[in-house]
Amino acid sequence: MKGASGITGLKRLSGGASQETWAFDATTDGESIPLILRRAPGGTRPPSETAVGLSTEAKLIELAGRAGVPVPTVRYVLQQEDGIGDGFIMNRIAGETIARKILRDDEFADARPKLARQCGEILAKLHSISRDTLPPLRVSPAESEIAQYRNILKAHGHPHPVFELALKWLTDNAPPATTAHTLVHGDFRNGNLMIGPDGVRAVLDWEIAHIGDPMEDLGWICVNSWRFGNIDQPVGGFGTREDMFAGYEAAGGAKVDPERVKYWEVLGTMKWGIMCTIMVTAFKTGADRSVERAAIGRRSSETEIDLLRLLAPRQ
């Protein structure tokens, strides 16, 4: 980074399941600058069908910042000659990402009532980014998502009747082919937002961004798994859909279709449930024998209950 003479306080952070995250301070003549290095595991990562490369992620963060989305400023994208692999350096933002603290600690009491509307406003700005300015991204409408997760479920080889029911419902109720597509963050939820006492300070983890239905982002943050026990607050466990929708439309987003948002909440719930079965497979095969993989794998049953509540609600 220009002007830096060294670093201090290098420390790997625990967050980030698929990428390495390192905190450090860059020393300059006049000040110490708090920074984050986001790096591929071990410096390199095999190509992925769903995850964008880290240089692409850095580009998306820069574009989002220009559109008014709160994001860390990207300071430097690693080059081959740097010899430490793929990644980028960005400003370190003060705040909290641990959802349970955000939902329960007194420090965030004033922020919580504002968060749902702020999320709507942020998503409206994110979805306004011109597709002409974007780097190459995969296009993933509902049909593509359904096909992908149907194949994963089939490969898993264990019967899940509720997931099969959800797949049928999703196929029968897919949004029309004429649905306008925009940039979609893909993992916009409580846990990937840096929160301070004043509200949302930064949107993080852009690695599964793609082109798709903008209602996908509004539905994903409402998935019950991302409410962390506060099931009566559908938006991230901290707010209402109505507040988020109002913020979205007031900030220039298209008129929200609540039924389409529900569709993506169903798809997101099923998606997370099937992703949990992948964790089971990783644990059983020995690919990853961590307690975390086994514990997350058990959560697929929670999503099945959530799907039944969504598809066959009790009157």
- Give one word for 26, left, alpha or beta, with left for phi > 0 and alpha for psi -120 to 50: beta
Residues in the chain: 315
Q: Identify whether residues 30 and 114 lie together within a single domain.
A: no
**How high is the pLDDT of residue 147?**
96
Instruction: Supply the CATH number for residue 63's domain.
Output: 3.30.200.20
Q: Residue-wise pLDDT tens for the chain (315 aa)?
A: 677 778 888 999 875 557 889 999 998 877 889 999 999 887 777 767 788 999 999 999 999 999 999 999 999 999 999 899 999 999 999 999 999 999 999 999 999 999 999 999 999 999 999 999 999 999 999 999 999 999 999 988 888 999 999 999 999 999 998 899 999 999 999 999 999 999 999 999 999 999 999 999 999 999 999 999 999 999 999 999 999 999 999 999 999 999 999 999 999 999 999 999 888 777 777 776 777 777 888 888 999 999 999 998 776
**How high is the pLDDT of residue 293?**
73
Give me the residue label for tokens 């350096």: 89
CB-count burial class (<10 Å; 0-12, 13-18, 19+) for 121: buried
Percentages helix, strand, coil for the chain, rounded to the nearest 5? 45, 15, 40
Q: Identify whether residues 193 and 164 lie together within a single domain.
A: yes
Q: Identify whether residues 86 and 126 lie together within a single domain.
A: no
Structural domain contains residue 1:
no
Structural domain contains residue 136:
yes
Q: Tell me, rounded to whole angstroms, the distance of Cα 218 from its chain centroid.
A: 11
Measured in degrees and rounded to the nearest 5, phi and psi for residue 76 equal -165, 135
Full residue range of the structural domain in which residue 110 is found: 99-311
Structural domain contains residue 77:
yes
Instruction: Supply the CATH number for residue 221's domain.
Output: 3.90.1200.10
Q: Identify whether residues 70 and 218 lie together within a single domain.
A: no
Angle at alpha carbon of residue 272, lines to 270 and 276, rounded to 5°: 115
Q: Identify whether residues 106 and 63 lie together within a single domain.
A: no
On whether the pTM is more than 0.75, the answer is yes
Structural domain contains residue 36:
yes
Structural domain contains residue 164:
yes
Which of these three, 91, 111, 134, is where a domain ends?
A: 91
CA distances from residue 245 to 8, 15, 255 in whole angstroms, order as listed: 44, 30, 8
Structural domain contains residue 219:
yes
In the chain, how many domains are there?
2
As a whole number of angstroms, the distance between CA 263 and CA 256 comes to 13
As a whole number of angstroms, the distance between CA 206 and CA 139 comes to 15
Structure tokens at 11: 């420390």
As a whole number of angstroms, the distance between CA 6 and CA 25 comes to 9
Q: Identify whether residues 61 and 158 lie together within a single domain.
A: no
Q: Identify whether residues 58 and 131 lie together within a single domain.
A: no
Structure tokens at 255: 């008129």
DSSP assignment of 166-203, as one string? Answer: HHHHHHHTPPPTT---EEE-S--STTSEEEETTEEEEE
As a whole number of angstroms, the distance between CA 307 and CA 301 comes to 10
Structural domain contains residue 260:
yes
Structural domain contains residue 246:
yes
Q: Identify whether residues 193 and 243 lie together within a single domain.
A: yes
Which of these three, 56, 91, 126, is where a domain ends?
A: 91
Residue 5 near residue 29, CB atoms below 8 Å:
yes
Q: Identify whether residues 127 and 43 lie together within a single domain.
A: no
CA distances from residue 22 to 4, 5, 81, 255 in whole angstroms, order as listed: 17, 18, 20, 40
Q: Identify whether residues 83 and 157 lie together within a single domain.
A: no
Q: Identify whether residues 177 and 80 lie together within a single domain.
A: no
Q: Identify whether residues 67 and 109 lie together within a single domain.
A: no
Which of these three, 50, 73, 91, is where a domain ends?
A: 91
Positive or negative, the CA dihedral 96, 102, 105, 108 is positive
